[in-house]
Amino acid sequence: MFLHILKYELKNGVRTKDLIIWLMVFPIVLGTFFKIAFGSVYNKTEKFSAIPVAVVEENENPAFRQVLDGIESADEPFLKVTYADRAKAEELLDSGDVEGIISSADKLGLTVKQKGLSQTMLKSFVEQYTLREKIAMDAIQTSPEKAQEIISSLMSGTVSSCREIPLTQGNPDMYIQYFYNLIAMVALFGCMTGMHVTMQNQANLSALGARNNCSPAPKLVTILACLTGSFILQTICMLLCVTFLAFVLKVDFGDRLPLVYPAAILGGIMGVSFGFFVGSVSHMSQKTKTAVLMSASMLLCFLSGLMVGDLKGTIAQKAPWFNDINPAAVVSDSFYCLNIDEDYTRFITKLITMAVITVVFIMLGFIISRRKKYASV
């Protein structure tokens, strides 16, 4: 009996327009718009890129050229060097093709057209090189026997007072949070399938519900089969959503993409359970319940940062407890923790939170649904 009901629940779910529109078509369209809007913003405005600079060699300086060649050959070069004469270099600076001119003579010189971060970094580079060159020359003159060791230390950077420590091994793009919240929105939209479970098991709300209540199948078995079918359909939708974002739109979820799938699936199951609970607590019509669930889902997604990226941070400062119980925020935070954190502590905590919320919604939905009796249908 369970498998029979499950089979027809799956068939009925595939034919439901709400499922096709809100859980399949809408995420694809919105995800595409997000990619167009935010896909290149980080690379253009936030991500560091090599600073274009013109180098005018007024005197031969093999050591300085060797340093520049080493910088340009790095995996993420700090400078993009163009060698030119003085006239050509000034032309490049005036046109904005380079951020500054480094003149290599007896002493390095720097010419810039405006003040900014790139110009400050160039100034720091010139000063650091000049300082290290002076240390090397002094070592050659005062302690020739230690000169090679000092020069090697300077070249390797071991005398530097600071070192680079990456904040994360994941994707630092701040705009990826919109894609996290898009997945959270799809997960919460699973409430539509959860609502259908209650609609087709309430005799006073639908003809199908009346027939199901006349059926000899136990109500518990019927609801379990319908919920299982909804979970399966929602899981397929979540798999399609994450796959589309990761492999079609090329959204970078970091190097832990396989773990994004179970988090998204659990979030989708939580969304179904949310709809199952809300659908059980009221005698409102299907259209009214649909409006309530859609409004609640969009409000929760809004508060998690779907429309305003820094809103969740503001809520975290004012009422941090709310993000811990907001289903949309919990889902999006699970992806954030997976991408940013080195360990899995916070990620597992978010998964446990989703599981607890799901169990609570399902238990409450079962309790309310089983208490409903009808004198006649």
Instruction: Give the pLDDT confidence score for residue 241 in this predicted structure.
Output: 92
How are beta strands 79-83 and 51-57 bridged, if at all? parallel
Q: Residue 348: which of 338, 356, 358, 340 has the closest Cα?
A: 338
Q: What is the chain's alpha carbon radius of gyration, rounded to the nearest angstrom? A: 31
Q: How many whole angstroms separate alpha carbon 316 and alpha carbon 142?
A: 59
Cα angle vertex 367, ends 364, 372, to 5°?
130
Distances (CA, A) of 368 to 37, 145, 220, 258, 330: 44, 87, 12, 37, 26
Q: How many whole angstroms separate alpha carbon 86 and alpha carbon 111?
A: 11
Tens digit of pLDDT for each residue in 204-254? 666 555 566 566 667 778 888 889 999 999 999 999 999 999 999 888 888
- Banded model confidence at residue 373, pLDDT cuts 50, 70, 90: low
Instruction: Give the pLDDT confidence score for residue 39 in this predicted structure.
Output: 62
Average pLDDT value for the chain: 80
Distances (CA, A) of 138 to 126, 131, 144, 150: 18, 11, 9, 10
377 in Cβ contact with 214 (< 8 Å): yes
> H helices within the chain, ranges in order?
2-14, 17-20, 26-38, 41, 62-72, 86-95, 117-142, 144-156, 177-188, 191-199, 207-214, 219-243, 257-280, 286-303, 311-318, 320-325, 327-340, 345-370
342 in Cβ contact with 169 (< 8 Å): yes
Instruction: Give the pLDDT confidence score for residue 162 in this predicted structure.
Output: 42
Instruction: Give the pLDDT confidence score for residue 370 in this predicted structure.
Output: 67
Instruction: Give the pLDDT confidence score for residue 210 in this predicted structure.
Output: 54
Question: 117-142 vs 144-156: helix axis angle to the nearest 10?
Answer: 160
- Banded model confidence at residue 329, pLDDT cuts 50, 70, 90: very high
Tens digit of pLDDT for each residue in 50-89? 788 888 888 777 778 877 887 787 777 878 888 888 888 8
In the three-class reduction of DSSP (H, G, I as helix; E, B as strand; rest coil), residue 59 is classed as: coil
364 in Cβ contact with 280 (< 8 Å): yes
